[in-house]
Chain A
Amino acid sequence: MIESIASLGRWGLDGLEGLGRATVFLLRTLIRRPRFIKSFPLLIREIYSVGVLSLLIILVSGLFIGMVLGLQGYHTLEKFSATQQLGQLIALSVVRELGPVVTALLFAGRAGSALTAEIGLMKATEQLTSMEMIGVDPLWRIISPRFWAGFISMPLLMLIFSAIAIYGGYLVGVSWLGVDGGSFWSNMQAGVNFHEDVLNGVIKSIVFGGVVTWIAVFQGYDCVPTAEGISRATTKSVVYASLAVLGLDFVLTTMMLGGW
C-alpha cells in the first residue's frame, strides 16, 4: 500500500521533472540572438520537410473528411428538411474543430514522429555531441529551425485542410446530392463569422503547432540514445502530442466560447 503511494509520488515527481526540463529546453531554444541570414535557409529546408511533405496526407484526409461530413450532414439535416444549412454545418465543424484538431493529430503522426526519430538518431550517432564540440550549439542549428518550421507549418496546413474539406463537402452536398449551390454558400457565409470562427481556429492551430513540435523535438533531444530509446521516444512523442492536442482543444474551446 505504502509502496504504491510512493511509486505514485515518484511518478508524479518524474513527470514534473520532465516538464521542467522540457520548459528549460524550450526557453533555451527560443531565447537567443537571432541570426536571420544563416537561419533562414535552414528554416526553409525544415518547412519543406515538416510542412510540404505533410501536405499530401493533409489534402487527402481533408477531402475525405469533408466528403463524409457532407454525406452524414445531408442525411441528418434531411430529417428536418434543413439541407440548405449543410454548408454552414460543414464550415463550422471544419473551421472550429476538425480543421485544427485533425490537422494537429495528423501532423503529430506524420511530422512529429519523424522529427523525434531524426533528432534521436542524431543524438544516438553522436552528431549532436560532435556539433557541440565543433562549437555550434545544436539547439540553435538543429532544434530551433525545426521548432519554428512546425510552428509556422501547422496553421498553414490547417487552413489548407479546412479549405479542402469544405470543398469536399461542397462536392458531395452540391454536386452529388443536389443541395442548391447558392444557399450552400450563402448560409455558410451567414453562419460563419471570420473573427469568432476562422481566426479562433487559426489561433488553436498555432497553439497546437507549437505544442506538438515542442513535444516532438524535446522527445528526440531527450531520448535515451539507443535504438530502443529512439523507438520509445517516437511513440511517446505521438501519444503525448495527441493527448495534449485533445486536452488543449477542450481548454481553448471553453475559453473561446466565453465559459472561462
Chain B
Amino acid sequence: MKTRTVEIFVGLFLLAGILSLVMLAFQVSGLANIIGRNGYEIQANFDNIGDLRIHAPVSIGGVRVGEVASIQLNPSTFKAVVTMHIDPNQNAIPTDSSASIFTEGLLGSNYISLSPGFSNTNLKNGDKIQTTHSALILENLIGQLMYKIGSGNDNSTSSNSSSSNSKPTSEITK
C-alpha cells in the first residue's frame, strides 16, 4: 500500500541522518580517537606553552600518538602543567623522553612533539616528563634578531642565539 512506501522512505531518511551523524563523528571529528579513552595520561611542565590548546595533537616523529587533555598553571612555580592523553597502543615511551612545543608550518597551530630517550623503563599513567622545551615565540625570536642586528655581530650574543637556533632546526626536520 501507499503507507508502506511512505514508511520505507521515512526509514531511509532516518537511516541517512544517522549515517551522516556517524560520518561526522568518526570521519570528520575523529571521535574514534577520543572514544576509546583507555590509554594513559602523562604530564609535563613548560615555562611557556605559547598558543597550545586542548586537543592539540601529541606526536612522536610526526606520528600522532595522543592529544593534550588539559592545561593548568601551577600556582607556586608559575609553570604550565600540560596533561597529555596517550593512546593505549603507544605504551613503550621511555621515561627519559623529552617534550617540545612546535608549530605546524609558519602560522599553524601548536602541537607537542615527544623525542624518545634511551631508558629501559617506560612512562606509566601519571608520570611526569622531566625534559621540556618551551614553545618558540615568534615575537621573541624577532626581538632577539633585531637586538642582534642592532648591537652588531657581537660574538658573545651569537653563541647565545646559536643555542636557541637549535630548536627551529629540529622543528624544520619535522
Query: A residues touching B (Cβ–Cβ < 8 Å)?
Result: 41, 44-45, 47-48, 51-52, 55, 80-82, 85, 91, 95, 153, 155-157, 159-160, 162-164, 166, 185-186, 188-190, 192-194, 197-198, 202
Contacts and interface: CB of A to CB of B under 8 A. Distances in A.
A163 B10 contact: no
B28 A47 contact: no
Nearest to B14: A156
Contacts of A186: 64
A192 B29 contact: yes
Given A48-B9, A48-B10, A51-B10, A159 B24 contact: yes
Nearest to A152: B14
A192 B20 CA distance: 15
A120 B105 CA distance: 59
Interface string B1-26: 00100110110111011011101110
B13 A166 contact: no
Given A82-B105, A193-B29, A163 B13 contact: no
Question: In terms of DSSP, what is the predominant structure of the interface of chain A?
Answer: helix
Nearest to A185: B27
Contacts of B17: 155-157, 159-160
Between A80, A95, A156, the greatest number of chain B beta carbons within 10 A of the residue's beta carbon is seen for A156
Given A82-B108, A159-B21, A163-B20, A192 B13 contact: no
Nearest to A162: B24
A197 B29 contact: yes
Given A52-B10, A95-B29, A164-B20, 4 more contacts: A48-B6, A163-B24, A189-B29, A190-B57
Instruction: Name the interface size band of chain B.
Output: 20 to 34
A198 B21 CA distance: 9
16 contacts: A48-B6, A52-B9, A55-B13, A82-B107, A85-B108, A91-B29, A95-B24, A156-B13, A156-B14, A159-B24, A189-B28, A189-B33, A190-B30, A190-B57, A194-B30, A198-B21
Contact of A198 (B13, B19, B24, B33): B24
B34 interface: yes
Nearest to B57: A190
Contacts of A198: 21, 24-25, 28-29
B55 interface: yes
B31 interface: yes
Contacts of B29: 91, 95, 188-189, 192-194, 197-198
Contacts of A160: 16-17, 20
A131 to B, nearest CB: 21
Contacts of A159: 17, 20-21, 24
A80 B57 CA distance: 22
A192 B7 contact: no
Contacts of A55: 13, 16
Contacts of A156: 13-14, 16-17, 20
- Return the 6 tightest CB-CB contacts between A and B, nearest first: A189-B30, A156-B17, A159-B20, A163-B20, A194-B29, A192-B29
B10 A192 contact: no
A243 to B, nearest CB: 27
